[in-house]
């Protein structure tokens, strides 16, 4: 019992050390709050930094989306790498079980193979069995360490089949086949959704190009028209204050609206791209960071 508690404590400590997603999210939110505060002060005229208030909003969103989004994407890829080798491990355990081995013996024999990122956890599970931990308990600890939806589901089925008795090898074969089918289905979905992700990026770039065209052609013509009308009005002795207001206030306001729309599109389109691609908002933050960076650089160049 003491050994089991020690193994569980080590597992919990390792898991806490490895998962930094909440820490990155809290740091990002803190940095974003500071940037949002600076942007609010700049918007009301409390300070002057040479940047627009919307620039601080964009930087704040990037602080939230960047570190957390890329970390979650890396974590998601690790999970998929682990899950992709799980059917191979289950198949090898099933083959060993067909030779009359118990579940514990089959796991130890199969642990000698190579299963990519899953190999260290499988060998740790085999070592726990050598220390006297029951096979079902070792599998439960294995599922908690790996902690992926597919692994938890598969290990739960195997543990229940082992407790019920009977031919566990057939259950392992069925579970391995089911895991393979699930991964193939997810891969097909990912490939089909990749097209929509590309469409979102292309649409965002077209949006920026449209703003560039409006800023380089329409607004200068609008300013020139206002100047010519103002000259004619002055010659006729008409008040030109309203025309001057259009030139001084309206055009910069339109340009600010352009920047605001780019930031909104970048953040929203990035989240949508992640949901379409992987079904997770957290993975969409990586796309939001990339689009916000492109949009921020693009609007500054404009």
Q: Do the beta carbons of residue 283 and residue 277 sit within 8 Å? A: yes
Section 11-15 average pLDDT: 44
Question: What's the pLDDT score for residue 17?
Answer: 44
Lowest mean pLDDT among 35-39, 56-60, 296-300: 296-300
Q: What is the pLDDT of residue 239?
A: 54
- pTM score > 0.75 for this model? no
Examine the pLDDT at 289 and tell me if it is beyond 90: yes
- On the question of pLDDT at 9 being above 50, the answer is no
Q: Model confidence at 217, in pLDDT bands (50, 70, 90)?
A: confident
Q: What is the pLDDT at residue 253?
A: 82
Q: How confident is the model at residue 267 (pLDDT cuts 50, 70, 90)?
A: very high
pLDDT band at 113 (very low <50, low <70, confident <90, very high): confident
Residue 252 pLDDT class (50, 70, 90 cuts): confident
How much is the pLDDT for 10? 43
Write down the pLDDT at residue 15. 46
The pLDDT score that the predictor gives to residue 96 is 75
How far apart are the C-alpha atoms of 245 and 257, rounded to whole Å? 17
Structure confidence at residue 243 (pLDDT) = 53
Least confident of 76-90, 159-173, 179-193, 259-273: 159-173
pLDDT higher than threshold 80 for residue 264: yes
For 160-207, what is each residue's pLDDT tens digit?
A: 777 776 667 777 778 778 878 877 887 787 787 888 888 999 999 999
Q: What pLDDT was estimated at residue 302?
A: 63
State the chain's mean pLDDT as an integer. 78
Task: Give me the mean pLDDT over the 256-283 stretch.
Answer: 87
d(CA 153, CA 167): 19
């Amino acid at each position: 019992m003491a050994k089991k508690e020690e193994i569980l404590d080590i597992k919990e400590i390792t898991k806490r050390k490895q998962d930094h997603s909440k820490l990155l999210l809290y740091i990002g939110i803190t940095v974003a709050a500071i940037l949002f505060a600076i942007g609010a002060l700049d918007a009301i005229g409390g300070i002057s930094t040479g940047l627009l208030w919307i620039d601080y909003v964009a930087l704040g969103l990037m602080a939230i989306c960047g570190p957390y989004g890329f970390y979650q994407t890396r974590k998601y890829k690790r999970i998929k790498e682990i899950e992709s080798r799980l059917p191979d491990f289950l198949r090898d355990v099933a083959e060993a079980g067909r030779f009359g081995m118990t579940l514990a013996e089959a796991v130890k024999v199969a642990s000698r193979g190579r299963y990519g990122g899953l190999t260290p956890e499988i060998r740790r599970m085999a070592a726990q069995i050598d220390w006297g931990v029951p096979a079902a308990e070792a599998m439960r600890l294995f599922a908690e360490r790996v902690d992926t939806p597919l692994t938890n589901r598969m290990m739960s089925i195997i543990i229940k089949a082992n407790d019920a008795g009977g031919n566990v090898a057939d259950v392992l074969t069925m579970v391995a086949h089911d895991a393979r089918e699930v991964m193939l289905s997810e891969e097909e979905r990912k490939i089909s959704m990749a097209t929509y992700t590309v469409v979102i990026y292309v649409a965002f770039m077209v949006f920026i190009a449209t703003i560039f065209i409006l800023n380089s052609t329409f607004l200068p013509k609008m300013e020139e028209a206002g100047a010519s009308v103002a000259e004619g009005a002055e010659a006729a002795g008409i008040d030109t204050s309203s025309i001057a207001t259009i030139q001084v206030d309206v055009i910069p306001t339109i340009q600010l609206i352009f920047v605001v729309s780019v930031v909104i599109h970048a953040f929203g389109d990035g989240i949508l791209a992640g949901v379409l691609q992987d079904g997770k908002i957290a993975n969409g933050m990586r796309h939001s960071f990339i689009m916000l960076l492109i949009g921020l650089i693009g609007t500054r160049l404009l």
